Amino acid sequence: MKRTIFNRRLWDSTVAIIRYTPRALRLKRLNGLDFYKPEKLEQFRSRALRVTPETKRAWGTMETSQIFHHLNLAFGGALGYFELPDESYLLSRTFFKWLLVDWFPEQPKGLRLPLNFVIPHDQQFDLEKEQKLFVEILEKTWNTKTASDWGPHCFLGYLTYNEWGKLALVHMDYHLRQLSV
């Protein structure tokens, strides 16, 4: 519990959530099943493939290859591509899951969750390799048919099929917009 309450990243995330809430009240709710439409797959694939080594981020601190690596971990961990530690706890599996997946139609800028999931700024990845893996994971994500095709999310725990679709819509869109694509 101490790790949860006295963590700087949690407080930064709380500020981001509070700042974002008025916007969330005005935006249309998302349906996670929309992610599984063929046009969404093509949209995300084409956006990801437009990224080049010269692409600059619009906000945040992660480099382009780190963003793709982050997305690969976020979805690939639950699909068996990576073994990630379980960082979930009661608050993340209940309140944060409801807030970030069920209620918010976008990811707030400045969100720093999960608390211990940090890619060091000096850690570099091969953009082409990460991009290719992202497209592979995107296609596997899109081709899932039930919630049982997924393992648990490392921070939010088990999600329904609809929740996985909504998380994919929100999280992938957030980071691709961060890359201005």
Angle at Cα 153 formed by Cα 77 and Cα 4, nearest 5°? 120
In sign, the C-alpha dihedral spanning 122, 123, 124, 130 is negative
Look at residue 69 in the predicted model and tell me its pLDDT. Answer: 94
Q: Do 24 and 106 touch, CB atoms closer than 8 A?
A: yes
The pLDDT value given to residue 1? 43
pLDDT computed for residue 6 by the predictor: 61
- pTM value is 0.85
Cα angle value 25/28/29 (rounded, 5°):
90
pLDDT in tens, the chain (181 residues): 445 556 666 777 777 777 877 777 777 888 999 999 999 999 999 999 999 999 999 988 889 999 999 999 999 999 999 998 898 889 889 988 998 898 888 887 777 666 556 677 788 999 999 999 999 999 999 999 999 999 999 889 999 999 999 999 999 999 999 998 8
Q: H/E/C letters for each residue in the chain?
A: CHHHHCCHHHHHHHHHHHHHHHHHHHCCCCCHHHHHCHHHHHHHHHHHHCCCCCCCCCCCCCCHHHHHHHHHHHHHCCCCCCCCCCCCCHHHHHHHHHHHHHHCCCCCCCCCCCCCCCCCCCCCCCHHHHHHHHHHHHHHHHHCCCHHHCCCECCCECCCHHHHHHHHHHHHHHHHHHCCC
**Interior CA angle at 107 toward 112 and 90, to 5°?**
55
Rounded distance between C-alpha atoms, residue 28 and residue 58, angstroms: 24
Q: What is the model's pLDDT at position 114? A: 61
pLDDT at position 5: 56
| pLDDT given for residue 2 in this prediction | 47
- Distance from C-alpha of 84 to C-alpha of 73, rounded to nearest angstrom: 8
